[in-house]
Amino acid sequence: MSAPLRKPAPRAPGTETAVTTPGDREIRTERVFDAPRERVWRAYTDPGLVAQWWGRGNPVDVERLEVERGGHWRFVEHGPDGTTYGFEGRFREVTPPERLVQTFEWDGMPGYVAVDTTTFEDLGDGRTRIVVTALFHTREERDGMLESGMETGLNDSYEALDRLLAGQA
């Protein structure tokens, strides 16, 4: 009935998020950020900075963020209609500023646990490549995540992270 009023804004070259499924139980995402690795690492591990991008514009309570092996994390995102979305997990490995391995669980599906391995690669030109590999217990859980609107949510989060990183002089 109605023509689109405007097209989505084109992304800056190199900032597309590449989502692939290297195995039956995995999702791999890759994204380049225009900021040095140490700054990107801080955006992932400083509670005050995480709160500024993780919720894609929604307020986030960073209830726990114990960035050490065995430490727990828990974030609660507040949606525009008052709904809250809780996420939590535990760190398996913390190797600054290169690598985080942590579990990931959404309150809405408690006990369904993915293991996220995040690597921060210094591209040598002031940019950083982030690769996340998520491993699920079953293929069905992996497919459920893919069908949940994950890619849109991830792109929204990464764009909020772009804005945060651009603003940190």
Query: Please, are residues 53 and 31 in contact by the beta-carbon 8 Å criterion?
Result: no
Interface region with its own copies, contact rule CB under 8 A, candidates 11-19, 54-62, 110-118, 147-155:
110-118
- What's the min distance (Å) between Cβ of 76 and its own copies? 14
Does 91 help bind its own copies (rule: CB under 8 A)?
Answer: yes
Residue 90 bridge partners (DSSP)? 72
The three-class DSSP label of residue 70 is: coil
Query: Please, are residues 132 and 28 in contact by the beta-carbon 8 Å criterion?
Result: yes
Site string for its own copies, 10-49 (x = CB under 8 A): ----------------------------------------
Query: Would you call the peptide bond into 96 cis, given omega within 30 degrees of 0 as the criterion?
Result: no
- What's the min distance (Å) between Cβ of 139 and its own copies? 12
Interface region with its own copies, contact rule CB under 8 A, candidates 7-15, 99-107, 144-152, 157-165:
99-107
Query: Would you call the peptide bond into 8 cis, given omega within 30 degrees of 0 as the criterion?
Result: no
- With CB under 8 A as the rule, give the number of residues binding its own copies: 22
Does 76 help bind its own copies (rule: CB under 8 A)?
Answer: no
Q: How far apart are CA 127 and CA 122, in angstroms?
A: 6
Residues that bind its own copies (CB under 8 A): 69-71, 89-93, 101-103, 105, 107, 109-113, 115, 135, 137-138
